[in-house]
Structure 1
Amino acid sequence: MVTSFSEKTKSPKRSPKQAPAFLKEEETVELVRQHMPLVRQFARRYSQFNPDYMEDLIQVGSIGLLKAIKYYDPRRTRSASFKTLATCYIRGEIRHYLRDHCSLVQVPRRLTEMNSQLSQLEEKLTKVLDRAPSVGELATHSGFSVQEVLEAQQSWEARIHYESFDSMEDDDRDDRRSLSETMPDKR
């Protein structure tokens, strides 16, 4: 049987159950020790809106780190560095967890991107003005209308701080609102 060069050089596809361990146990322990700060860094970043998820995200990120170790082959000369591989797996596991478990309110991508731009602009204007900018100032400097700025801010706030559609039972904080109160009125 004649095989082509490309068939000989293809790396075999492995499912998670078939992945061989390329590292010794002590090397694995050392990689975990060295890269746990990376897991905590991503967990902090992704739990900034809800600190209650911090421990869960550290656990999920640790699973990502272990998956990266499982697939890392230091003998491959053309492979990415371990930190690059670990970053992809850690971030991926955390994002999958958040997508599957944490967000009941989905904000349209357009508003998410707009809110990201507005957040960066707000940070810059706060430094320049030495105070938080008004909605009008954000609209002027961003090129969005005042209505678009308000819509982006309200939809993002609804995503992060939803409580319930109708009631606010067991609420001891004055700054919480129900989801229906945070959504813009389109009438």
Structure 2
Amino acid sequence: MTTDPPTHRPRPQQATARVVAPRGAPGKTPPSNRRGALRSPHADTDALVVEHLPFAAKVAANYARRTGHPREDLEQLAAIGLIKASRRYDNQRPGRSPNHFIAYARPYVNGEITHYLRDKGFLISVPGRWRELHARGQKLLREGTAAHEIPERLGITIDRWAEICQACAVRVVAMAVSADEELGG
């Protein structure tokens, strides 16, 4: 029984990594490279959004107060507007100051909220005074005021209250379009 000597197979060549020290203080690792984390391509724009979230909350609260929509929902829409604005904002342009971003972002924030309100709003144009009276009347109802007392408490006639209720009850309803309807069949 003869045994052949073991044959030596060379290992495949492995690439060697070249370690380069970061610029700056010796021995210090920049925050973006700690624990192997990579810096997001949107880190600067995300920081801009986080910095200006109080502005978005203020705009959303103003719309919520005027429309009666939940503030939290409108704050999310305002944040989406901030994100869109931050991704398009060029802070390298000459003459850009830190406060310039708010002026740039305001149309995006307002636009997101107003598009939502347009889509979820009234089908017919209801005067603002009527919407306000309707909201006050609904609040009185929730507080336990009898329905027949509402017009008197609001300082309007029963007929006007009925007209306001009818106008404010009409809402846009989004309907799903089936494939047959979409194709005209």
* Structure with greater helix share of residues: 1
TM-score (structure 1 length as normaliser): 0.47
Greater C-alpha Rg? 2
TM-score (structure 2 length as normaliser): 0.47
